Amino acid sequence: MKRKSIDFGADVCRFDDTIHDTHYNYVKGCEKGKYCASLGSTYNIHKCQPYTPIIKMLGENCKNDFECDSSLKCISEKCSMENDYPYNKNDIDFCPSGQILQIIDDEGRNSGKCISATNIDKCYIRTKEGTNEKINTYAPDYFKICGKISYEKDDTAKLYIKTSTDMNYYGEVNDGEFVEDEKACKSGYALYFYGNKELTKPFTDSEATAHSNDMFKLCVTVKEVEFIPGDDESSTPPPPDSCIIKYTKGTETEYIYDPSHAGQNIVCDEFLLTKLELFQKLVERMNSIRDQCVSQRHYDAPFLCDDNELKKLQYFYDNPKDYLLYQNENQVVDYLVQSKYKTYEAQDLSKGFLNLNYFILLLLSLIFI
């Protein structure tokens, strides 16, 4: 839909047709170095405006402290940390290349300091020195997350005890392994299981102690999803949406999982399979430019690498309905992704506009035919 009945001049990236009773929103992306800003009017007009990130981040050249991000100082003409405390950006803590953040006394990352990363590749390490137990915890290295967890069974205490947690890239851990973050799974998804990797309690209620039968995230591959909307308006509050999931966990054998029996919150919606399809594309793109991402270090959005394709895939992963509606409509995609990531570079800069609502109306008409 590259037609419009009103012309508001150059650099218009959105307006709403409020006089023809169509409820159409006309949209397109902006050229490199600009983003779509609202002017606030009857027609909800937006125009492309310049946007350039100005503040200097860790490791960038500077002349004084005012050029650096708030937690940094200009030292030897580089935006630098003070006293080995981490650089915090968008609630993520970072250390310079070659260093890792050690968390002190498990009090949280703000209590940690950056140390040499030599031979440290785990977020959690539990060791025993005689009868004494020692635990070291670390924030994941740049471009990594806390992933695969190792446990050992303590028959005396009737517990599964965590011994270590690996630092992993996205999509690196096989099915059938426990993880801290399901994005470490090759499938991009995990369900809760007991320490024996089964859905039957490893210890009976009579012998169990506190936390004996805790559940942990296990990587699985989702095969099918039966979505159950929580649309009982008579209930207060209304019941949440839920899913029944068919999955595998390392072999070809398929199982059924009803989260209501597990008593755990899981990510589940009617577009779950679409999200996991997009996750595979995310991982493929991440892996193809990993070395560049790690070396250049984009602290404002570390897993996006200032990469156009990753920004688009991340937006669709977070908004799978938009992917299903607009994936082949470049101007709508440009507008939507740029509304989330201002530095996204639009791919279709033709002068015509696409209608943001047309495809929703088309979809509804198909549903009710």
Distance CA 351, CA 2 (A): 9
Residue after which a domain boundary falls, among 268, 291, 311? 268
Backbone conformation region of residue 276, classed left if phi is above 0, alpha if psi is from -120 to 50, else beta: alpha
* 3-class state of residue 255 by DSSP: strand
pTM: 0.87
In a domain, 232, yes or no: yes
Q: What is the pLDDT of residue 368?
A: 43
In a domain, 165, yes or no: yes
Domain count across the chain: 2
Q: Which of 355, 360, 364, 369 has its CA nearest to residue 25?
A: 355
In a domain, 289, yes or no: yes
219 lies in the same domain as 262: yes
291 lies in the same domain as 344: yes
Q: What is the pLDDT of residue 354?
A: 64
Could you write out the DSSP letters of every residue in 228-286? E----TTSSSPPPPEEEEEEESSSS--EEE-HHHHT------TTHHHHHHHHHHHHHHH
320 lies in the same domain as 217: no
In a domain, 276, yes or no: no
259 lies in the same domain as 204: yes
**Which is it for strands 242-248 and 159-168: parallel, antiparallel or unpaired?**
unpaired
Distance CA 30, CA 312 (A): 15
Distance, CA of 84 to chain centre: 28
Residue after which a domain boundary falls, among 268, 295, 324? 268
Place of tokens 């009737």: 158
In a domain, 156, yes or no: yes
Distance CA 241, CA 234 (A): 15
263 lies in the same domain as 287: no
240 lies in the same domain as 154: yes
204 lies in the same domain as 302: no
10-residue mean pLDDT series, the chain (369 residues): 56 81 83 91 87 92 95 94 90 92 67 88 89 90 97 90 96 98 97 93 86 92 89 62 90 90 75 96 97 94 96 97 95 95 90 60 42
In a domain, 7, yes or no: no
Distance, CA of 49 to chain centre: 28
252 lies in the same domain as 173: yes
Q: Find the Cα–Cα–Cα–Cα dihedral 337, 342, 346, 349, rounded to 10°.
A: 120
In a domain, 38, yes or no: yes
Q: What is the pLDDT of residue 356?
A: 64
241 lies in the same domain as 293: no
Residue after which a domain boundary falls, among 211, 236, 268? 268
Burial letters 50-60, b for 16+ CB under 10 A, else e: ebeeeebbbbb
249 lies in the same domain as 186: yes
Q: What is the pLDDT of residue 208?
A: 82
305 lies in the same domain as 218: no
Q: 360: part of which helix (H) or strand (E)?
A: helix 358-367
Q: Which of 112, 77, 143 has its CA nearest to residue 292?
A: 143
Q: Which of 274, 183, 272 has its CA nearest to residue 225?
A: 272
Range of the domain at 353: 12-53+281-367
Distance CA 282, CA 95 (A): 25
User: Are 121 and 87 within 8 A, CB to CB?
Assistant: no
In a domain, 124, yes or no: no
* 3-class state of residue 172 by DSSP: coil
310 lies in the same domain as 353: yes
Q: What is the pLDDT of residue 350?
A: 77
Q: How many CB atoms lie within 10 A of CB 267?
A: 11
Q: What is the pLDDT of residue 22?
A: 65
